[in-house]
Structures are given as C-alpha cells and as structure tokens.
Amino acid sequence: MRNVSHILERKGANIISVAPNQTVMQALTVMAEKNIGSVLVMEGDKYVGLLTERDYARKVILKGRSSTDTLVKDIMSADLPEISPLQSLDECMQIMSNHNVRYLPVFSEAKICGIISIIDVVTETLNAQKETIDHLQHYIQS
C-alpha cells in the first residue's frame, strides 16, 4: 500500500517557505512563481504554519483587507493536523475529509519534511491503480 513517502519521493525534497512577518502579497508572489497553492510558514528552521489560497480568499479578500498590509502570520493556518511519511494515503484522505483541509504538513522525527495536497493523494492513488492494472494485464497476457 502506498504512503506519504511515495508522494514526497515523487515531488522531491524542495521545501518552499515564507516568514510569518512577510506580507501576504510577498507570499502570494512566491506561490505564483512556483505555481503552488500553499506555502510553509517558517521561523528560521521552525515550522509555524501553512498559508493557502483558501486562507487568502477567506481571510483577506472576503474581509476587504489589503494583501500589501496584511502579514502572513495574521492569516496562516497554524492548527493543521500533522502527518508522517509512513501514513497511508487512505489515512490522509480521512484526515483531510474530517478536518475539511486540502493540505497537510508532513513531519519526520519532529522536523518538517514537506506538504502534501489532496491532488498529490489523488495522483498517487491513480498511479498505484495504473500499476496494478498494468501488472494484471501483463499477468493475463503471459
């Protein structure tokens, strides 16, 4: 069964982050440049939260706040469930569903090692299904 480590292997170990005292506009610029929907919020080497497009939409746009005046720390999500690389994709889907979130921070030995998204989980699940189908077709044909 596939787990979070498979997603991290596919995505690579590139951690993209912003500081809590940066403006939301600066964070959005990073997210746009990297074509990502969330970014880790780090204070030095310490994880303090996650900023997502949903945070921006709900806590800045809908409240009429300014992206250039609002700080990341004022709108980031700091209470997300944390997962480990060994957790299964099924567990991740259940956690995301139960907490109504699209992103989860991944920790290994109390150190942040990445973020996974619902799209990552779906993609990995589809890849696993395709491999199973390919193996079964090969088995039937041989």
Q: What is the pLDDT of residues 94-119, one digit of tens each?
A: 999 999 999 999 999 989 999 999 99
**C-alpha–C-alpha distance, residues 70 and 141, integer Å:** 61
Name the residue range of residue 79's domain: 4-141
At residue 138 the predicted structure's pLDDT band, cuts being 50, 70 and 90, is confident
- Contact of 4 with 84, CB cutoff 8 Å: yes
Q: Quick one: pLDDT at residue 106?
A: 96
29 vs 17, 23, 25, 38, 135, CA distance in Å?
12, 10, 6, 11, 43
**C-alpha–C-alpha distance, residues 16 and 4, integer Å:** 18
Q: Is the pTM higher than 0.85?
A: yes
**C-alpha–C-alpha distance, residues 73 and 53, integer Å:** 14
Q: Residue 95 maps to which CATH number? A: 3.10.580.10
Q: What is the pLDDT of residues 33-87, one digit of tens each?
A: 999 999 999 999 999 999 999 999 999 999 999 999 999 999 999 999 999 999 9
**C-alpha–C-alpha distance, residues 1 and 89, integer Å:** 8
> What are the DSSP calls for 28-95, one per residue?
HHHHHHHT-SEEEEEETTEEEEEEEHHHHIIIIITTT--TTTSBHHHH-B-----B-TTSBHHHHHHH
Domain count of the chain? 1
Least confident of 1-5, 89-93, 102-106: 1-5
